[in-house]
A = this chain, B = another copy of it.
Amino acid sequence: MLGFHKIPTVFEYEDFVSCGQSVPYVRLIGESWPMTKERSYFEATALKHQHSLSPKHVPEVYHFDRTMSLIGMRYIEPPHIILRRGLIAGIEYPLLAEHMAEFMANTLFYTSLLYLTTTQHKNAVAEFCANVEICRLTEQVVFSDPYKISEFNRWTSPYLDTDTEAVRNDNNLKLEVAELKFCEKTQALIHGDLHTSSVMVTQDSTQVIDPEFAFYGPMGFDIGAFLGNLFLAYFAQDGHADQGNDRKSYKVWITDTISGTWNLFHKKFTSLWDKHKEGPGEAFLYAIYNNVELWELVKQKYMTELFHDSLGFAAAKMIRRIVGVAHVEDFESITDLVKRADCERRALDFAKMLMKKRRNFNTITDVISAAQ
C-alpha cells in the first residue's frame, strides 16, 4: 500500500485501493482467485505489534479502518526504496544485516514461548488462526504448486523445462519439503512474507512493511524468506554484470550480508533469551535449566534446529520463485533468456541441495561456500 501520515483524502483512499491493499482477490492472478479482505486486519494488527517490538524498523500505524480495509501508517519517505530494487541496481546497504537481525530477533523472540506465558501465547495463536486463507495461499504457492503440475506455475521456457520436471519427480526433495510442517508449528508471530520487496531501505534505515501474511508459525519461515531472497539476488548478479561492473565485489557484499544476518540474529536472539531467562516465558523455566552447561546446551540445540529450519524454508522460497506462480524481478529483469535461465538453474540446483542436505550444515559460512 501507499502510506500517508496526514488525514487521508479521497484521492489517497483511491490510491490505496488501487495499490491492492484491499482488493478481494490475489493481485498477481486477478479476480479469478478471490482472497479475503480481512487480511488487512491482520496486517494492521501485526504491524502495530511488530512496531512495538522493533520500533526502528517498522512504520507506526496511525489509523486502521476495518470496513474500508484501510491502514494509515507512517510514510516511508524517499530516498527509501524497495530493497529488491537496490539489490538489482547493485547498491550496498552496510547496516542491512544488523537491522534485519534486530527486527527478526525482536519480533520472533518476544512472540515465542521463550518470552510469553502459555496463556498469552495460545490467545495470540487463536487470534491469528483466523488469517487462515492467507496461510492456505502460502501453503499452495510455496509448498504445493511447485511440486506438481499447476496451471499457475511458470518458468523460463524452454530452457528450464527439464529442470522443472525434475523438481516434480524428485522424491527426496518432496519428502524434505513436507518435513518443514509449515501449518502445524505455532512457534512465534511471523511476518509471513519477508522477502526483499517487503523491506524498504536507505544507507542507514531499514523498514519492514506488508505483514499481511502474519500468523503464528515457524520462525524459520521468516529467516528463510529473507536469506533465500538474498541468495536469489546473489544468483541473479551474473545476469546483471556488464562491462562497467562485473558485480564480483557486490556478490561478496551479498554473501557477507547473508552471513551477517544469520550470525547477528543468532547473537541478538540468544542475548534476548539470556536477558529474559528468569522472565515469564514458559518453554524453558529457569528453575529447571538453571545450570551453566545445560543452559548453553539448550540454546545450542534450539538454535541449530532453527538454523536447519531456516535453510529449509530458504530453499523452498527460492524454488517457488523459479518454478512457481510468482517470480522475482531479480531474474525477470535479465532480458537475455539464456542468461536468465542459467542464473535460475544455478539458484534452483543450490536450493534443491540445500533442502535435502540442510541438516549437514553447521555454519552459514559453509552454506555460502556451497553456493559459490
Does A136 lie at the interface of the complex (its beta carbon under 8 Å from any beta carbon of B)?
yes
Does A339 lie at the interface of the complex (its beta carbon under 8 Å from any beta carbon of B)?
no
Closest B residue by C-beta to A125: B129
| A interface residues, how many (CB within 8 angstroms) | 44
Residues of B with C-beta under 8 A to A147? 288
Residues of B with C-beta under 8 A to A179? 301
Q: A129-B125, A132-B118, A149-B287 are in contact. Are A294 and B185 (CB under 8 A)?
A: no
Does A291 lie at the interface of the complex (its beta carbon under 8 Å from any beta carbon of B)?
yes
Q: Which residue from B171, B284, B301 sits with its C-beta under 8 Å from A294?
A: B171
In terms of DSSP, what is the predominant structure of the interface of chain A? helix
Task: For residue A358, give the distance in angstroms from its CB to the closest CB of chain B.
Answer: 15
Does A139 lie at the interface of the complex (its beta carbon under 8 Å from any beta carbon of B)?
yes
Residues of B with C-beta under 8 A to A184? 113, 185-187
Interface string of A148-162 (1 = CB under 8 A from B): 110000000000000
Does A91 lie at the interface of the complex (its beta carbon under 8 Å from any beta carbon of B)?
no
Does A135 lie at the interface of the complex (its beta carbon under 8 Å from any beta carbon of B)?
yes
Interface string of A17-33 (1 = CB under 8 A from B): 00000000000000000
Please name 17 pairs of A and B residues whose Cβ atoms are closer than 8 Å in the assembled complex, sorted by A: A113-B183, A118-B183, A122-B130, A122-B132, A125-B125, A125-B129, A126-B127, A126-B129, A144-B288, A147-B288, A178-B284, A178-B298, A179-B301, A183-B283, A185-B185, A185-B186, A186-B186
Could you list which residues of chain A lie within 8 angstroms of chain B, going by C-beta atoms? 113, 117-119, 121-123, 125-127, 129-130, 132-133, 135-136, 139, 144, 147-149, 171, 174-175, 178-179, 183-187, 282-285, 287-289, 291, 293-294, 297-298, 301
